[in-house]
Structures are given as C-alpha cells and as structure tokens.
Structure 1
Amino acid sequence: MLRCGIAAARSRAARKEVVLSPLAATAFALAILGLLLGLYCFHRARASAGDAAGGLPSAVFLFHGDRLVDACPSARQRLADLPRDGAVEPALAEAFASFPGIANALSDLLRRGREFDVSAPSGALRGRATGDWRRLELFDSAGAIATRVAEQAPIPIWRETDDGTVTWGNAAWRALGRDRSAADGPLVPPERRGQGPARIAVPRPGVGPDLWLEVTSLPDPPGGWLNYAVDVSAEVGAKRTLRNFVDTLTMTFAHLPIGLAVFDRERRLSLFNPALSDLTRLEPDWLAARPDLFGFLDRLRERHRMPEPKDYRGYRNQLAEMEAAAAQGIYQATWPLASGETFRITGRPHPEGALAFLFEDITGEMTLKRRFRTEIALGHAVMDRLDCAIAVFEPSGSLAFANAAYRSTTGMPAPPESKDATRDEDAAPMGIVEATRIWQDKCEPSPVWGDLRDFAAQTHDRAEWTAEVQLKTGARLSCRFAPLPGGATLCVFSDLPGSG
C-alpha cells in the first residue's frame, strides 16, 4: 500500500509538471515577442524622426542621467572644450544658444527624461530618453552643411560685388592673402566675368613665382559674383617649359641646312624649320597652318618638288607606303626632281606616334658622284686603249682593275657594261694567286710569279722592280711591278721589241 501511494504521488506530480511546462513556454515566447516589437517600434520611431530632421545626425551626445558618458568624434570636434564626464548642461546650453528654449529643454531631458525637438536656421536639435539614458542629437541644416563644405573646400571660393569688394571667402581664398576691399581691384577683370574660365596670375612677392588660377565667375544676383578657382600653376609651368623646349629646338634647327618636318599622331605638321620652306618652296604661313601629311605631300607634287608619279592611284599607294615605312623607321628614298635637284628623304618614328621627315639637298653630292664616275670611266677607257696589259691588285690581293689588253692576254671575261648587270656570284674572285697561276700556265718556268706574290703581300719597304718572262709561244714580255698608295700593287706587261 505504501509503495502504491508513493507511486500515485509521483504520477500526480509528473502530470502536474506536464501541464505547467507548455504554459511557461508560451509566456516566455510572448515576452520575447513583445520585447522585439517594442524595439522595432522604438527604432522605427527614431528613424522617422531622423528622416524628419534631415537625415543622420551630425553630432550625438550620450548621457546617463545628467552626466555625459560618451560623444561621437564630430561632437567632440564641434565642442572640444566640453569635458568627457561630469555635468555639462550649462556648457551645452551655451553652445546651442541659437536654439529657442534650449536651456529648459535640456534640463527637462536630463532630469525628467522629457523628450524635445527644437529647430533653428542652423539645423535641428533633438532629445530622446530611454530609461535612465539620454541622447542628444544635432542635425545640420542644408545651408549649414553647404557653408561648411564651401569653407573647407581645397580650392579658393569667394563672393564679390561688381567693384571687386569681397563679401565672403573660404579658407583657401584667405590663404591667398588678398585684400577684401576693392583696393586691389577684382581678381577677374569685369569684361571677362561670365565668359568662361579665365586664367589669372596672382603675384606672391617674397613667396615664390606667380600663382596661376583658372577662375570661373558666375552671377549672383543682385549685384554680385561667385568665383571658383582652380590652381593650374603646374599646367602653366609645363606648357611654358614645353614652349621653351620647342623654341630651343626651332632655334637649333633654324641653322641646319636639312629640312625638318614633324607630324603628330594625327598626322598634322607640328614642327618645321626654315630650311624646309627653302627646300620645298612652300610658304611659311601655309606650313604654320599645320597641314596634314597627305596635304603636305600633295602640295609638294603641285610645286614639282617631288618626283612626278606615273598615275594618281599609284601615287596614293606610294604615300600610304611612305607613311607606313616611316612609322617603322625604314623609309629612305632619293627624289630626282625635274629641276635637276636631288633630295634624300628620311622618315623616322617619334614618340607619341609622331613621324619626322628629313629633307636633304644632295644635288652637289650626286653631281660629284656622277663626275667621279665619269672620270673613272674615262680613265678606264684610256687604259683600255693602251697596248700593254695593266692590272692593279688591292692590299688584300684581290684584283681591283684590269684593262682590255690584260683581259685579252689572260682570257678574263669583259666587265659588265651596264650598271644593272650582275656578276656571277658562284664565280671565284680573281686574286693575285689565281692571276699568277694563269701566267705560270702561259709562260715558261720562272721565279718571277713567286716573287710577285711575295711583293704584293708586303706592307712596307717596297720598291719598284722589273723582270722578263717568256711565253710558251716564244714571245718575250717585259714586266714592271710598282707599289701604289694604300698598299695596292701595279703590274704592267708589255711585248719586248723583236720577240715572237
């Protein structure tokens, strides 16, 4: 019976626990849900209030009761003299004195947790309470934000009247050291106001070179101007340096007899020297107008300062090939002109995709070459008319010249009559060794040919000498060997009277 009673009691206790556990769980869940709902409504109310006040607060102060316990960085920056802890109500009331009734509102917030919202031209101030915690939030107005942005802008901004009196200027403008009165006159001349950016030099005596500003002036009715300046001193200095460099190049190239034409990446003439105008007979004013490459070449063609093309299509193709070759740095051509002049044209690539062409008058050089070739041809013709066989060997032993009598005697082939003829690349070059072997085959045994090879190989202490040899035909030859300037060797073979 006792065991049954104990078991029954345990059974009733277990059933009671089973009944109470669901009730406790439900109550706990409802409490959590209520808390979350309260927090949600609280944050929604704060967000709505923030939107109504103009967005996020610019400064926040956190209190526990009437004691300041924390503040955001912007709040510390705005109110740097406030202590981190301790009663700060009087200091806050003084700092926010522009807000109406702020002293009483702060007292009610900190002591009684009474929330408030006050506004002023500079913005809005809001107090909120949650239990013993107090929160003070400052919202700047759009005008205050704009003023702070303009004041802290890194470029000079100022407002001035029509006569140049400055009524407001930010920190960057004050750093220029300008007088606010109209004594210095307006920085931007009145006639240039409202005409787009104007570049103005601001003197800085005792500090350094002038400060160059690019100022944009906009009307600010009634009777005023808003000015925004950008420092362009680096750009002005770079342009001045570039201009000086170009002037230096121009002065340097002005004394060169070679014409220079530089075309930029757009293929427009960007630089030329006086020699280009003299050689091409193109007017400097026309060249200064920066014609493009094809226009420049077309004008040369019109002035007969380039070879006349056979057809226009081939001419245009030639210009395109000329540009492509110059860009690769391999263009070089000789232009024979109808006037009898000759130009050497060289094209080279320049930085940034530019092209440079050099025009060189080589008329004198070509005339000298033609005259030299004529004289050489005349000398060869005279040598060919002589009865004696003549040959000249270079210091290396190669045959440099042989007249007709020598070639006939030794059986050598005649040289090409045309400059376009080509020699047989497979044929072995004629040298002193090959020549003496030919003579040895045609003559009776003689030590002359070995002595000749030794004589031609010597580089100094050489003297003219003579000898006689007999051909296998019975004829006798007189041989004369003489040193020539530069280490060359002259060989002359002539028939002896009464031989053969």
Structure 2
Amino acid sequence: MSFGLSELIILGVIATIGAAGLFTLLLRMDNRRTRPNLQLGRAGDGPVFLFQDKDLIDATPDALAMIAPHVQKMSEYEATLHVLGAHFINLEDVLAAHDKGHVRVDGEHPNALSMHIEREGPVLRIAVTDEVSNGPTKVTDMLEHDVRLAELSMMRELTKHTPQLIWQENGNGRLIWANQAYLSFSDRLRTGIETVTPTWPSKSVFPDLTDATAHAGSTSRRVAVTLPDKSAEHWFDVTTVAQQNGFLHFATDANAAVRADRQRHNFVQTLGKTFAELSTGLAIFDKRRQLAMFNPALHELTRLPIEFLSSRPSIDTVLDRLRETRILPEPKNYASWREQFTALEAEAREGTYCEVWELPDGQTYRITGRPHPDGAFALLFEDISAEISLTRRFRSDIETGQAVLDTLGDAIAVFSSTGSLVMSNKAYADLWDTAEPSYHDQRALQTELETWRGRCTPTRMWSEMRDFIYGSGTRKTWADDAILDDGRHIRCHANPIAGGMTMVRFDFAPPKTPVISKLTMSDPALLSAKR
C-alpha cells in the first residue's frame, strides 16, 4: 500500500515520538512492578500485557514498543485499547464484560489474529497470537499496520468533512493535493454552484502564497478571493507551513471577522465624529493608564498641545502638565496633591469621582470620572463657568430681593399657585413668631393658615383668603380685617402677581370706634307729637 506525502509525514511523527514514549512507559512500570500469579510469556504468544486495576505492571518488549508512541497523550490502558481496537472490534466492551477466567476473541479481518483474555482478581492478561504463522514479529507488524490504516482512515474523514480549506503545493506553487472543501470552493468560483463531484482545478484559487513563506516555517495572513460576479470578496485567514518540497496551506473562513472589523471601524469613526462635536472634553485612559482617545474639546479646554496628547501620555503626565499650565487648582500641600492623583484614578475607575476645579483665571471646570470595560476609565472636562456665574447671579438677586423685603415694615409672604410659601420677610416672622425661611424652603399654606388662626379671633376671612390663593384665572385685589389675640387690628391684603402667585401683606390698622347712632337719629314719637 502506498501513502501520500502528508500521510508519510504523519507516520514519521508517530515513529519519532515512540522513543520518548517508551522511556516514559518504562519509568511508570518500574514503580508499579509486582509479582502476579499470571505468567507474562507463554509459547506461541505474541505481544502480552499485564494490567492490575488498569495499571500496566508488565509487558513484553514488542507490546511496549506498540503502545510507546501513544502513552504521552493517554494512559497505558487506553493506549492498549487504541492499538488493539483497530483489529478487535468493541474491545473495551469485551474486556468490561469478562470478569473471570479465560476467553478467546478472534479478529474481524481475513487471516485474523486471536486475542486471549485472562482475568484473575484485579490482574488482567491480554495476549495476541497469530494462529497461522505463530510468529510474534508478524503479529506486531499486523497490529501496527491496522493502527496506521485506522489513523489514516480517520484523517481522510477529517480532511474530507472539515469546513477548513486544506491544500498542498510544490515548490513552484503547483497544486498537488487538496481536500473536499477546497475543491468544492474552487467549483463554486468557476461555475457559481457547488457540484456533487468537484473537479480538479487547473490553477489555485488563491493568489501566490509562496513568496512570503519561502524562508519561514509558518506564517499567517488574511487573503481575499473575488467571487465570480465580482460584486464581493470572500475572505480567508490562511496559515502556510513550509515543508521540504513545498507548502501546506490551511484556510479558514474570515468573512465574519472582516465584517466585524469593518463594523467596529465604522463605529469608531462614528464615535470620533460625535466626540469631535462635543463641547465636553473627553480623555479615555486604557488599563495601562495611558491616554488612548481624546476629542478636540479636550485640547480647547486644557490648552494641551495636540502633539502631547497624541503621544499617549500617562495620567500622571497629563495631570502634571495641567498643573504646569495652571489648568489644575494649585494645592497648599504638594505631597498630598500628588496622593490625590492616585485617589482620582481609583475613584474614576469606580465611577464616583466628580470635582469642581476653580481656576486662577476665573474659569470653573467640572471633572467627572467614568469607568470603562477592561480596566479603562474616562475623564470628562466640562466648562461650567457660565452656569456657575448664572447661579451666583440668581442667588445674588434672590438675596438682594430678600434684603429689600426685610427692610419693609409690613409683613409680607408670597405663595405659589399650589399653596407653597415661596418667600417672606423679617416683619412676617416677627408678626407671627415663626422662623425666617431661606430662599429654598417652601412651607405649605395650610401650615401658615393654622398659625394665623391660632393668633387671631375666629373669623371666616382665612377661608376666603385660602380660596383666593388657590384660585385661578383673573383675580382682583382682596382685603379684609382680623383681630390678633392681643387686641390689635391687622389689615390683610392679597394681591395676585405673575406666575399665578399671590402676595399676602399684613399691616396694623387703627381700631374701629363704635358709633352711637341712636342719639343722632330723629325720634318718630316726637315728630308725631309736634303734628
């Protein structure tokens, strides 16, 4: 029987590792050597194996040579099943079923070998004989021949059914062997369809791969093959192994990987365009603490040179440069300031870092840390100078308005359309003996009404005032009087103002003097007497 070049290579590898396997096997057996009752060698026996609980304890030299190439990747018992199983079908089941005594098993092939199985307690003896020639050398040759045939058959099946394209070329690049997947792909390129029985291609479907691999043991590259309609390309990852008289190539479909790379590239480009339009400065540091990505806004806000940012500086270098350019607040203690760098990085990785930097030139930046996958993190730089200025202006306006109200002698309180106390002045707090609310406190109208009722004599006026404050639509100024529990009279004014709000004003009114009208009226009785 003749073998192809690739098959001879495989057989050569098996022979090469045999010596190393035999040495390893002898070391193992020496540690397990026992004195079993079953004899190792008998007249007419070929290779003989002695096992105790699936551990090989003794074997004839020809038996050891048979399993030596396999013991580095499997146990001695499994190696024996592998070698003998090519000739004796279902050997593992036969051994498992035989638990005592002697049994003979005949092989499946013409002029087959016979195997004698003996079991005595935990010890198992396996002997292979040739009933015709009674020669142990021929037994070994037949078993090794069956193993090689089984391995070659398995390899043929693998190369036939694998989706990977495998082919072999000589030193001039001429195709000398190819598997089923390669031939089917070649037919599809030539005819547009995959045929049941592919034909041998006149030339390789791949570009010349020999130049790049002439002086290399193994190389990999990504190769594109144009489809027949030239509308698309089919991509492969090709691994080339240089051999003595040619090259062996393995091609794996890479279309999914190429599509993923293109989608990732497009996505990165989209992100880059989006980041470029952001007014927020973005700095992304990888797991090695180096600047991996930044946008133009970072350059504009920090005034760091593009060349410096493009050199992938570390976060320590970036923060040092920010301090030098007075973009980072100057600390009182330089040592503690350096320690804050480490804390900044740790907090940014956890997504908890957020700090406001007030710079010497009056600008205010908000720095936020956000974690990213694979240990990376991002720092966001936002210029909030206008926001801070506007907030301070609003606060100043509110404080100024409050100060103006506090100078007025009348008690004033402003309520929203939902009945919340928006603001009041000091005279209001003194009149009703309540705490002065800050500008962000909002007490409920119902609470204030209870205070008013508790300090005045009973009157329906408070219900009318409540209805007026909650009222909607066009409202006219409303006023009424009330008497405090100390006898003073107060005048209550309710004025609608912008936004549906109501300003309530309290001032003291002079007490009303009762008029005795009886003395000034004409007496009807006297008038009738005069008549």
Q: Indicate the TM-score class for this superposition, using the shorter chain for normalisation.
A: 0.5 to 0.7
* Residues 50 and 367 of structure 1, relative CA distance in 2, 3 Å threshold: same
- 1:164 matched to 2:167? The reply is no
- One-letter identity of the residue aligned with 1:139: H
Please say if 1:139 is aligned against 2:145. Answer: yes
TM-superposed CA distance for 1:237, in Å, is 4.0
Q: Assess if the C-alpha contact under 8 Å between 2:40 and 2:48 holds in 1.
A: no
1:150-229 correspondence to structure 2 within 5 Å: 156=166, 158-161=168-171, 163-167=172-176, 177=186, 186-187=208-209, 189-190=211-212, 194=216, 197-206=219-228, 209-218=233-242, 220=243, 225-229=246-250
Greater CA drift, 309-318 or 264-273: 264-273
TM-score (normalizing by structure 1): 0.61
The alpha carbon displacement at 1:465 in A equals 1.0
Instruction: Tell whether 2:54 aligns with 1:38.
Output: no
- Give runs of aligned pairs for residues 373-388 of structure 1, distance below 5 A: 373-388=395-410
Deviation at 1:387, TM superposition (A): 3.9
8 A Cα contact 1:164 1:181, kept in partner: no
Matched residue SS, 2:348: helix
Instruction: Give the total of aligned pairs.
Output: 401
Distance 2:344 2:326 in 1: 18
Q: 1:309-359 CA distances to partner (integer Å, 9 max, x unpaired)?
A: 332332233333333333333333222222322222333333444333332
Cα separation, 2, equivalents of 1:296 and 1:146: 62
How is 1:114-129 mapped onto 2 (pairs within 5 angstroms)?
114=133, 127=138
Check if 1:253 corresponds to 2:263: no
- Per the TM alignment, residue 431 of structure 1 is displaced from its structure 2 partner at its CA by 3.9
Provide the identity percentage: 32
Partner of 1:296: 318
Is 1:491 aligned with 2:497?
Answer: no
Please give the per-residue CA displacement for 1:180-221, whole angstroms capped at 9, x wherever unaligned.
758975225448852963413130514974232243454x45
Q: SS of 1:203's equivalent?
A: strand
Deviation at 1:370, TM superposition (A): 1.6
Q: What are the superposed Cα offsets for residues 336-386 of structure 1, whole Å, 9 maximum, x if unpaired?
A: 222322222333333444333332222222221122222222222333333
Counterpart CA distance in 1 for 2:65 and 2:340 is: 75
**SS of the residue 1:199 aligns to:** strand
Residue 490 of structure 1 and its aligned partner are, at CA, apart by 0.7
Alignment of 1:370-449 (within 5 A): 370-395=392-417, 397-412=419-434, 431-437=447-453, 440=456, 447-449=460-462
Match of 1:231 among 252, 264, 272: 252
Aligned mate of 1:329, from 348, 351, 358: 351
1:143-196 Cα distance to aligned partner (Å, 9 max, x none): 9979996995555353442x5334555666556639675897522544885296
Q: Distance in 2 between matches of 1:277 and 1:415?
A: 45
Instruction: Provide the C-alpha distance between the structure 2 equivalents of 1:479 and 1:195, rounded to a whole number of angstroms.
Output: 101
Q: Which amino acid aligns with 1:246?
A: V
Q: Distance in 2 between matches of 1:299 and 1:194?
A: 47
In structure 1, the partner of 2:23 is none
TM-score (norm 2): 0.58
- Is 2:360 the counterpart of 1:338? yes
The aligned amino acid for 1:336 is E
| Deviations 1:433-472, CA, capped at 9 Å, x for gaps | 25424752xxx77654453344335456643212345678
**Aligned-pair distance for 1:481?**
0.7
Which residue of structure 1 aligns with residue 197 of structure 2?
none
Q: CA RMSD in A?
A: 5.1
* Aligned counterparts of 1:34 and 1:386: Cα–Cα separation in 2: 120
* Contact 2:41 2:48 survives alignment (8 Å): no
Letter aligned with residue 451 of structure 1: E
Once the two structures are superposed, what CA deviation does each residue of 1:31-69 show, in whole Å capped at 9, x if it has no partner? xx999863585445996556678975796599xxxxxx9
Tell me how far apart the structure 1 counterparts of residues 39 and 405 of structure 2 sit (CA, whole Å): 126
Is the Cα contact below 8 Å between 1:167 and 1:180 reproduced in 2?
Answer: no
Report which of the two structures shows the higher radius of gyration computed on alpha carbons: 1
Secondary structure of the residue aligned to 2:322 is helix
Cα separation, 1, equivalents of 2:215 and 2:477:
95
CA deviation map 1:258-316 (0-9, x unaligned): 23333344444444333333323334444344434444333333333333233233223
Could you say which residue in structure 2 is the equivalent of 1:312? 334
AA at the equivalent of 1:484: I
Q: Which amino acid aligns with 1:158?
A: Q
Contact 1:307 / 1:337 at 8 angstroms: preserved in 2? yes
Gaps of 5+ in 1: 1-32, 63-68, 76-84, 89-109, 118-125, 130-134
8 Å CA contact 1:50, 1:57 repeated in 2 = no
Counterpart residue type for residue 360 of structure 2:
A
8 Å Cα contact 1:300/1:306 also seen in 2? yes
Q: Is the 8 Å Cα contact of residues 86 and 147 (structure 2) preserved in structure 1?
A: no
